[in-house]
Structure 1
């Protein structure tokens, strides 16, 4: 069963239908928005460096108050190195186990 909680800001918390990982889907950006589905598991700086590719970005997960929805922000050149917010990456399902046929 998929749980969903949509907000006025265009975010949607849900579970991945394939692997059941907790994800957040949002349009990120003001002018040319990207539709991003991110894992909600925070990454250490070492994990961020390991998973970052040109096609898999790292996002800053900002929550202004306990009562407001979390928002994704891009971690570009001007992102502070000592940012206190959790950082997440775009969701990719883990590789499937090979199936065995009888």
Structure 2
């Protein structure tokens, strides 16, 4: 079964903080809707970025089409894909007096 074009990730900007992100369904049976940063992290620092509520993903670049998110390759040390994290907006400065 092939995926619809709308299901494939397209680079965009976060509507709240304007950071570059990719939003895509990852997986086939129990898929997750993921919004991830497009800026790769250092794979050696992956453990500092990953939490139970913020996973890390492989960002693959197929020959045709937009970049795609995949579950992390295992074992991690052999993976050559860029590693990205799920997106969370940075804390905003309060803009009200009260």
TM score, norm. by length of structure 1: 0.80
Aligned-pair CA distance for 1:38: 0.4
Number of residues of Structure 1 aligned to a counterpart in Structure 2: 94
Q: State the SS of the aligned residue for 2:39.
A: coil
* Structure 2 unaligned spans of 5+: none
The structure in which a higher percent of residues are helix is 2
TM score, norm. by length of structure 2: 0.83
The residue aligned with 1:4 is: none
Aligned-pair CA distance for 1:50: 1.3
Pair 1:57-2:64 in alignment: no
CA RMSD of superposed structures (Å): 2.0
Deviating 4+ runs (over 6 angstroms) = none
Aligned-pair CA distance for 1:47: 3.5
Aligned-pair CA distance for 1:83: 1.4
Q: Which has the higher contact order (CA 8 A, sep 6+)?
A: 2
The residue aligned with 1:89 is: 85
